[in-house]
Amino acid sequence: MKKFYKTIIQVEVLSEEPFQWNNLSDVNDAITDGNCSGKVTEISSKTLNAEEVREALTEHRTDPDFFDTVEHD
C-alpha cells in the first residue's frame, strides 16, 4: 500500500514593524537574510492512505489526482 505524509509546520516571526508577506519565500528571506527573527516548529506529522490524501488535496483546492493514488502491481 502506497503511503503519503502530512506535516504541519508553524513559523513564528519577530519583527520591528508589522510583518508583510505574500508567500513562504518572503518569510524565508525575512528570517534568513532580512531583519526578522524566525522559529520553525513541526506541529504534527502523520501517515495518510490514498483516500485520506485525496481528501486533504481537495481541502488544499488541488486536484485529488495530484499524486498517483492508484496502486500498481
Per-residue pLDDT of the chain (73 residues; tens, 9 = 90+): 789 999 999 999 999 999 999 999 999 999 999 999 999 999 999 999 999 999 999 999 999 999 987 664 4
Give the Cα separation of 65 and 48 in Å (integer). Answer: 15
Task: Please check whether residue 23 lies inside any domain of the structure.
Answer: yes
pTM for this model (two decimals): 0.78
Rounded Cα–Cα distance for residues 64 and 60 (Å): 9
Determine, yes or no, domain membership for 55.
no
- Domain assignment present for residue 38? The answer is yes
Reported in sequence order, the residue ranges of 1-73 that DSSP labels E, i.e. its strands, are 4-14, 37-48
- In which domain, by residue range, is 44 found? 4-48
Asked, for residue 65, whether it belongs to a domain, the answer is: no
Q: Is 73 helix (H, G, I), strand (E, B) or coil?
A: coil
Kindly list the distances between the CA atom of residue 73 and the CA atoms of 2, 12, 66, 70, in Å, as whole numbers in the listed order: 11, 44, 20, 10
How many domains, the chain?
A: 1
Residue 59 resides in a domain: no
